A and B are shown apart, each in its own frame.
Chain A
Amino acid sequence: MPLGYIAVELGWAVREVGRQPWLVYGLLRTSEGASQLPASSVIFSMAGYTLLYIVLAIAFFIFARRWLHKGPDLMLEPPPTPHAWQDRRI
C-alpha cells in the first residue's frame, strides 16, 4: 500500500480545509477571493478535471503495475555513441 502518498494527500487536505474560511490566513476570505463566473462554467471545469484525472489515474495504475511486474532489463546494452551531437546541421 502506498501509505506515504495517502499521508501526503491527506495532510494537504487537512491544511486546506483547516484554513477555512480564510484563503490567506487573516488577510483574505475565500468568499472574497472567489471568481464571479457563472456556476455552469465552473461545473464544466470541475467535471472535466474529475473525469480526466480518473481516466489518467486508471491508466497510470495499469502501466505502473505492468512496469513493476516486468522489472528492470538487466541485459540492456549501454546506448551507442550519440550521432546527433556530431551532426551539427541544427
Chain B
Amino acid sequence: MDIPNFLVAFWIGVAGLSLLLYVVLDGFDLGVGILSLAACDEDRRGLMMASLSSVWDANETWLVLLGGVLFGAFPPVYAALMQGLYIPVTVMLFALIMRGVAFEFGHASARKCLWNLTFGVGSLGAAVSQGMILGALIQGWPTHAGNYLGNGWHWFTPFTLLTALGVVLGYALMGAGWLILKSTGEMQDRAYRRGFWLLLGTLATGVLVLALTPLHNAHIASRWTGSTSLPYAVAGSVAIFAALLTLWAYLKRHEYWPFFGALLLFAASFIGLVVSLYPYAIIPALTWSASAASSGTQLFMLVGILPLIPIMLFYNGYQYLVFSGKVDGAAYSDDEAG
C-alpha cells in the first residue's frame, strides 16, 4: 500500500473509531437522559444524572474529534454532512447544549425539576436527531463536489423516523445497562425491567431497519448480495451473539452483561453499516478516496493527532476506573455547586 492510500485508510479508521466511541459512550448517557424522563421522582432523576456527572462531557469529546478529523482529512465529506444534514445537526447541537448546561445549572437552581426536564428532553432530542442522521446516511443524498443538491428535507422520511425510533430505543437500552451497573435496590430493579423491554424493542426495530435498508439503497443491496459477504457474515454473527448475550443477561439478571452486551450489539451494527456504505462516505456520489485532503495535509494531521489518540484513550479509560462503583447519592449533594 502506498503512502496516500495508507493515509486515507488511516484517517477513515480514526474517523470510524471516534464515531463508534461517540455512539456507544454518549449513546449510553443520552440513554440515561431518555430514561430519566420516565423516572418517577426528582431524587431518582438526580441520582441518574449523578451517575453521569463524571463521564458525560468526556464522552462528547469523541464527537468533537470526529468533526475535526472530517474537517481536516475529508473536507468535502464534512461540507456535505453539514449542508445536507443542516437542520438535524443544528437541532442535535441545541439539544446537546441544553442537556450540558442542565448539569451545571441544575446544581444552582432552586427549581431542579425544570433543569432535570431540560436534561431529559435534550437527551431525547439529540438521540432523535442522530437517528434521523443515521437514516439519512443509509438513504444517501445527491451531492456535487460536497455541495448539497435537494430541498433540505431528505432526512425527514418514514424510514428516518424508524431509524430515529431505533436509536432512541437502543440508547435507552445502553442507558438501562449503565444504570444496572451504577445503582442498587429498587432503582436497579426498574432498570432491569425497562431494559428487558427496550432490548426487545431495539431488536424488533433493528430487524425492521435491516429489512427495509436494501429497498432504500441499491448500493447497499448490491454490496450485501455481492461476492465479498464475509464482513457482513462476521458483523451479523457478532450482532446475533450480542443480542442473545444481552437477552441472557437480562433473564439471569447479570450485572455487567446487560451493558456490555448492548455495547457489543451497537459496535457490530456500526461496523456492518460502515462496511455496507464503503467505498462511499455519502451515497451515491461521494467516496472516501475522492474526498480525501492532499497527502501533505493528512500527513501533517497525522503527526499532530497520532500521539493524542492513545492519551485520549488512556484518560478516558482512567476516569471510568476512578469513578467506578455504585453511585452514592450523598456524595453528589449540592455542596459541590460552590
B-binding residues in A (CB < 8 A): 35-38, 40-42, 44-45, 48-49, 52, 56, 59, 63, 66-67, 70, 72-73, 76, 79, 82-90
Across the two chains, which residue of chain B brings its CB closest to A77?
B335
- B222 lies within 8 A of chain A by Cβ: no
A-side contacts of B97, CB under 8 Å: 52, 56
* Chain B residues in 8 Å Cβ range of A66: 108
How close is A55's CB to chain B, nearest CB, in angstroms?
A: 9
A87 touches B326 (CB 8 A): yes
Question: Is A37 touching B148 in the complex (CB atoms < 8 A)?
Answer: yes
Of all chain A residues, the one with the shortest Cβ separation from B89 is A45
Subset of 22 A-B contacts with CB under 8 Å: A35-B79, A36-B147, A37-B86, A37-B152, A41-B87, A44-B87, A45-B86, A45-B87, A48-B90, A63-B105, A63-B108, A72-B338, A76-B338, A82-B331, A84-B326, A84-B328, A85-B324, A85-B325, A86-B325, A89-B325, A89-B326, A90-B324
Given that A35-B82, A37-B148 are known contacts, is A63 also in contact with B109, CB under 8 Å in the complex? yes
- Whether B101 sits at the interface, judged by CB under 8 Å, is yes
When chains A and B are docked, how far (Å) is the Cα of A28 from the Cα of B328? 54
Q: How far is the CA of A12 from the CA of B217 in the complex (A)?
A: 46
New A-B contacts (6) at CB < 8 Å, excluding given A40-B152, A44-B87, A84-B331: A41-B152, A42-B86, A44-B90, A83-B325, A89-B324, A89-B326
A5 to chain B minimum Cβ distance, whole angstroms, is: 18
Q: A90, B86: Cβ atoms under 8 Å?
A: no
- B197: Cβ under 8 A from any A Cβ: no
Q: Chain A contact residues: over half helix, strand or loop, or mixed?
A: loop
Say if the beta carbon of B83 comes within 8 Å of chain A: yes
Would A38 and B83 count as touching, CB distance under 8 A?
no
Q: How far is the CA of A41 from the CA of B90 in the complex (A)?
A: 10
CA distance A24 to B97 in the complex (A): 29
Chain B residues within an 8 Å CB radius of A90 = 181, 256, 324-325
- Bound Cα distance A67, B108 (Å): 8
Q: Is the CB of B105 within 8 A of A87?
A: no
Q: Measured between C-beta atoms, what is the minimum distance from B151 to chain A in Å?
A: 8
Name the B residues within 8 Å of A89 (CB-CB).
255, 324-326
Question: Measured between alpha carbons, how far is A35 from B80 in the docked complex, in Å?
Answer: 10
**Chain B stretch 284-336: residues in CB contact (< 8 A) with chain A:** 322-326, 328, 331, 335
B324 pairs with A36, CB closer than 8 A: no
A67 to B338, CA, bound (A): 7
Tell me the bound Cα distance from A15 to B171 in angstroms: 42
Give complex CA distance A70, B105 in Å: 16
Q: In whole Å, how far is A83's beta carbon from the nearest beta carbon of chain B?
A: 7
From A38, A45, A48, A86, give the contact of B152 (CB < 8 A): A38
CB distance from A38 to the nearest CB of B (A): 6
- For B149, the closest partner residue in chain A by CB is A36
How far apart are the CA atoms of A24 and B260 in the complex, in Å? 46
**B322 and A85 within 8 A (CB):** yes
Verify A48–B147 contact, CB threshold 8 A: no
Distance, CA A66 to CA B331, complexed state (A): 23
Q: How far is the CA of A72 from the CA of B328 in the complex (A)?
A: 24
Once the chains bind, are A37 and B83 in contact (CB under 8 Å)? yes
Q: Is B6 on the interface with A (CB-CB < 8 A)?
A: no
Chain A residues, Cβ within 8 Å of B79: 35
Residues of A within 8 A of B156 (CB): none
B94 interface residue per 8 A CB criterion? yes
A84–B90 contact, CB under 8 A? no
What are the 4 tightest A-B residue pairs by CB atom distance, in nearest-first order? A87-B325, A84-B325, A63-B108, A45-B90
